[in-house]
């Protein structure tokens, strides 16, 4: 095959590929325009799925918190299995973080990252040979900033899609007032 024929063949193949790509992109854009906005039931389902993924994300955090609280009171012989369990919960937390990152807004994502970082720091700081002591309750509210961010995000989503507003303390008090 001479150079001119090869050039014409390559040009024809490129032009055909460009035409096919144009039609595929145009068909995709048309299909995207024709998609309907989800109805109220679909939004409720998405809302419930998000709330469920947030709750599942916090489960290993609560288990890690329990291990951290009871750590000083454990005898040294029982600490190794608890430390192993804490690392397993930390790994589970890392796996569940992906679902939270996909299902949350920027505040929820930032709170999830901070929570995972705090749990990693605390679990890595467990000392097998630390002297026994009283139960440590300083990690009791470890997941509260994350749960607060989730609640705010879900409330904003409810207001935006369903028109529902969560009553604030003042409006709730006004409804219950007998004056």
Query: Is the confidence at residue 95, as pLDDT, over 60?
Result: yes
Percent of the chain with pLDDT over 70: 72
pLDDT band at 170 (very low <50, low <70, confident <90, very high): very low
CA distances from 97 to 49, 111, 120 (A): 14, 11, 13
pLDDT band at 157 (very low <50, low <70, confident <90, very high): confident
Q: Which two tokens stand for residue 140?
A: 């009791």
- Kindly write down the DSSP assignment for every residue of 64-96, as one continuous string: HHHHHHHGGGS-HHHHHHHHHHHHHHHHHHHHH
- Domain residue spans of the chain: 1-35, 39-176
Give dist(CA 109, CA 102) in Å, integer.
8
pLDDT band at 160 (very low <50, low <70, confident <90, very high): confident
Task: Note the pLDDT tens digit of each residue in 8-43.
Answer: 776 666 766 666 666 666 666 555 554 555 677 888
Which pTM value belongs to this model?
Answer: 0.66
Give dist(CA 111, CA 144) in Å, integer.
10
Beta strands in the chain (DSSP E): none
């Amino acid at each position: 095959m001479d150079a001119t024929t090869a050039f014409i063949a390559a040009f024809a193949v490129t032009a055909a590929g460009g035409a096919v790509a144009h039609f595929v992109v145009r068909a995709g854009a048309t299909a995207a325009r024709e998609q309907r906005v989800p109805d109220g039931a679909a939004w409720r389902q998405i809302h419930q799925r998000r709330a469920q993924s947030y709750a599942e994300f916090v489960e290993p955090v609560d288990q890690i918190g329990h291990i951290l609280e009871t750590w000083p009171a454990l005898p040294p012989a029982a600490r190794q299995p608890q430390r192993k369990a804490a690392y397993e919960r930390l790994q589970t937390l890392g796996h569940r973080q992906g679902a939270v990152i996909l299902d949350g807004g920027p505040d929820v994502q930032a709170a999830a990252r901070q929570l995972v970082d705090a749990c990693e720091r605390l679990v890595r700081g467990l000392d097998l040979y630390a002297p026994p002591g009283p139960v440590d309750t300083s990690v009791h509210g470890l997941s509260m900033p994350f749960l607060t961010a989730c609640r705010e995000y879900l409330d904003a989503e409810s207001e935006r899609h369903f028109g529902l507003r969560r009553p604030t303390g003042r409006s709730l008090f006004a409804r219950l007032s007998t004056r």
